[in-house]
Chain A
């Protein structure tokens, strides 16, 4: 069984919110829509989003780092929101592991939102049903789209390619490789929900320069160390071709 998921690279995310707007655009008009806004131009706007980008500051000035943190449904492998649903509207697809809400069965009791430790679900106050990230199930399963476009809207929108989409049960998928090789981790693993979405940690890019890289080891004339009586000019090695 496959488990589709996102792997989000916090080292790459620049916090531009392109995924947020792209998600809102696609899902306002797609299968999961609408995502109504209330009072959008008023003093206290509110609305449904499947994806948000938050910003955190780590450390004390001047040693601070800014972390942009995209947050959406994690499509848990053991989703606590599914068994609590009294109507069966909240379900996890058997074929690809996406957690979805059947909007025709949902009674809007909000119990699933209470049961999600990540706050991934938001009620649609106009249609009175619970809504959540669908992992763009209507895109990723659409055989009429070219293969390269069968990805969630947020992934296609990301200008820095901070979001990797793939099947984390397939050990050779780009998502699985990234998790395995770049320290992918889950959010709040203490609750045992087994989130399918993973995050790649912030990493500091350091260049390691060893001394033998600055001084030529194979240097029988010891050119750098010998004081020459007159200026030698460029050698063949110093000329850029």
Chain B
């Protein structure tokens, strides 16, 4: 497939937004359990929610560039019964609304407990909205990934690993951003978010590695034999039927050399996984506020390459029909 930067930015940016929100809510739950000190509502949660919302908004803006007719995008909410894309179009604004409400509740300080659960757990408005938003965040990961994982003849994507990768890499980058954010504003949560970021990064390395290994072993079982329905061991295309370009020759080919592909793969394998982990570890050791920021920035660059590679590595079966111009 030809990687479209609109979709690359959409999926990576909303991944950060989702992960960042889940990090904030994790922080709130930790504070609720008295595992970490309670943070200032306005400074930490409200600004954090705003940043999460900003990432989601940037992703949404990027997605608009993917559409030929963005003015009709509202129609995309109608086919939620069958289309994962439609489901994503519904869940993304819903999640944004919940994050917005979560930020507003924290900003206005409406965090007085509404009731007690089991006599010990004080439940306030932010906890309820946060829980709903967390569910929406995971639903959004599933919707985004299932857009690709539901296409059964794109075998590189047709695996539960796709959903796992989108979820884990989104969580990793979001928690990484939370660590960087905490380091920047000087909140004592860098090690909490950093630890989780490292955990998700390592889990992501495992699942992304597994999908790379799986995709390497994939073979086109049928090829031309069923594509044109002729059984012969020696067949080749003489002409694709036209001398110029077409949608079919542009949309489904990445047009890069195997060497370039290898380079991009190695870049993302290093930039997403080991180097940010090392930077976070070094930042923890040196108590440096700038290293977590560097870790996040590098991981995000790597994630752009990772998403690019995700699209490029999928070999669409229609490409069988476009192997020779003339």
Interface residue ranges, A against B (CB under 8 Å)? 17, 20, 44-49, 52-60, 66-67, 69, 71, 80, 82-89, 105-111, 113-119, 121-123, 125, 127-129, 185-191, 199, 201-202
Residue B235 CB within 8 A of the other chain: yes
In the assembled complex, the Cα of A82 lies from the Cα of B81 at a distance in Å of: 12
Q: Which of A58, A84, A107 contacts B82 (CB 8 A)?
A: A84
A-B contact sample (5 more), CB < 8 A, given A52-B240, A57-B238: A47-B244, A117-B317, A119-B252, A128-B68, A186-B229
Of residues 67 through 83 on chain B, the ones whose CB sits less than 8 Å from some CB of chain A are 67-70, 72-73, 75-79, 82-83
- Which residues of B have CB within 8 Å of A71? 241, 321
In the assembled complex, the Cα of A111 lies from the Cα of B321 at a distance in Å of: 19
Residue B251 CB within 8 A of the other chain: yes
Interface residue ranges, B against A (CB under 8 Å)? 1, 66-70, 72-73, 75-79, 82-86, 89, 147, 150-154, 221-222, 224, 226-230, 232, 234-248, 251-252, 316-319, 321-322
Q: Is A54's CB under 8 angstroms from B151's CB? A: no
- Which residues of A have CB within 8 Å of B221? 190
In the assembled complex, the Cα of A17 lies from the Cα of B240 at a distance in Å of: 12
Q: Is A55's CB under 8 angstroms from B234's CB? A: no
- Which residues of A have CB within 8 Å of B75? 86-89, 105, 107
- Which residues of A have CB within 8 Å of B318? 116-119
Interface centre among B1, B69, B147, B252, by most A CB within 10 Å? B69
With A55-B239, A119-B252 as given contacts, are A83 and B226 in contact (CB-CB < 8 Å)?
Answer: no
Of the A-B pairs whose beta carbons lie under 8 Å apart in the complex, a sample of 30, sorted by A's number, is A44-B244, A44-B245, A47-B244, A48-B247, A49-B246, A52-B241, A55-B237, A56-B237, A67-B228, A80-B151, A83-B83, A84-B151, A85-B79, A85-B83, A86-B75, A86-B77, A86-B78, A87-B75, A106-B68, A107-B76, A109-B67, A114-B316, A118-B317, A127-B68, A185-B229, A187-B229, A188-B222, A188-B227, A188-B317, A190-B226
Q: Is B241's CB under 8 angstroms from A190's CB? A: no
Q: Which of A59, A189, A202 contacts B234 (CB 8 A)?
A: A59
In the assembled complex, the Cα of A188 lies from the Cα of B73 at a distance in Å of: 33
A211 CB to nearest chain B CB (Å): 33
A76 CB to nearest chain B CB (Å): 12
Q: Is A114's CB under 8 angstroms from B83's CB? A: no
- Which residues of A have CB within 8 Å of B237? 54-57
A66 CB to nearest chain B CB (Å): 7
- Which residues of B have CB within 8 Å of A189? 226
Q: Is B244's CB under 8 angstroms from A87's CB? A: no
B295 CB to nearest chain A CB (Å): 34
With A116-B318, A122-B246 as given contacts, are A86 and B228 in contact (CB-CB < 8 Å)?
Answer: no
The 10 nearest A-B residue pairs measured at CB:
A108-B68, A119-B318, A128-B68, A52-B241, A83-B82, A45-B244, A86-B76, A86-B86, A87-B75, A55-B239
In the assembled complex, the Cα of A219 lies from the Cα of B228 at a distance in Å of: 51
Q: Is B151's CB under 8 angstroms from A107's CB? A: no
Interface centre among B72, B84, B252, by most A CB within 10 Å? B72
Closest chain A residue to B70, Cβ basis: A107
Q: Is B69's CB under 8 angstroms from A106's CB? A: yes
- Which residues of A have CB within 8 Å of B319? 119
Closest chain B residue to A118, Cβ basis: B318
Q: Is A57's CB under 8 angstroms from B236's CB? A: yes
In the assembled complex, the Cα of A119 lies from the Cα of B86 at a distance in Å of: 22
- Which residues of A have CB within 8 Å of B86? 86-87
A122 CB to nearest chain B CB (Å): 4
Q: Is A58's CB under 8 angstroms from B245's CB? A: no
B285 CB to nearest chain A CB (Å): 46
Closest chain A residue to B322, Cβ basis: A119
- Which residues of A have CB within 8 Å of B240? 52, 54
Q: Is A108's CB under 8 angstroms from B69's CB? A: yes
Closest chain B residue to A188, Cβ basis: B226
In the assembled complex, the Cα of A97 lies from the Cα of B152 at a distance in Å of: 23
Q: Is A119's CB under 8 angstroms from B153's CB? A: no
B135 CB to nearest chain A CB (Å): 22
In the assembled complex, the Cα of A44 lies from the Cα of B1 at a distance in Å of: 21
- Which residues of A have CB within 8 Å of B236? 56-57
B255 CB to nearest chain A CB (Å): 14
- Which residues of B have CB within 8 Å of A108? 67-69
With A69-B228, A114-B154 as given contacts, are A107 and B67 in contact (CB-CB < 8 Å)?
Answer: yes
Interface centre among B152, B154, B246, by most A CB within 10 Å? B246
B132 CB to nearest chain A CB (Å): 24
Q: Is A59's CB under 8 angstroms from B232's CB? A: yes
A72 CB to nearest chain B CB (Å): 11
In the assembled complex, the Cα of A181 lies from the Cα of B221 at a distance in Å of: 29
A172 CB to nearest chain B CB (Å): 25
In the assembled complex, the Cα of A53 lies from the Cα of B75 at a distance in Å of: 35
Closest chain A residue to B243, Cβ basis: A45
Closest chain A residue to B317, Cβ basis: A117
Q: Is A58's CB under 8 angstroms from B230's CB? A: yes
